[in-house]
Amino acid sequence: MDQRQSVAVAIALQTHVLRTCPLHAELFQDDDADPACAFAVAADLVRHSIPYVRDFRRSTRELTDLLSETIAAAPAECPQCAAPAIERPISATERRI
């Protein structure tokens, strides 16, 4: 994952549009979250020239487009949790539960 992509993922995680599965560390979409919040945060970061987003060279559109692509590419649920139990190995964390 490159720097620009990691910025988009970080914004999506901070605004809870994306979540990380506690068992498998896989990213997935949070259906209850409003992505508008993520876009607002992204625009605000670029508008205020926060060094964290300097790769976007003051282009809100570039960051929001990448953020949109990142959210759309994430599955609706953790792929490993969604797989039938027969197809996926049980992790050590799951065994302890």
Task: State the Cα–Cα distance between residues 53 and 23, nearest whole angstrom.
Answer: 30
**What does the pLDDT read at residue 57?**
84
Q: Is there a contact between 29 and 9 (Cβ–Cβ < 8 Å)?
A: no
pTM of the entire structure? Answer: 0.81
Which residues of the chain fall short of a pLDDT of 50? Answer: 86
Q: Where are the domains of the chain?
A: 3-96
**What does the pLDDT read at residue 90?**
61
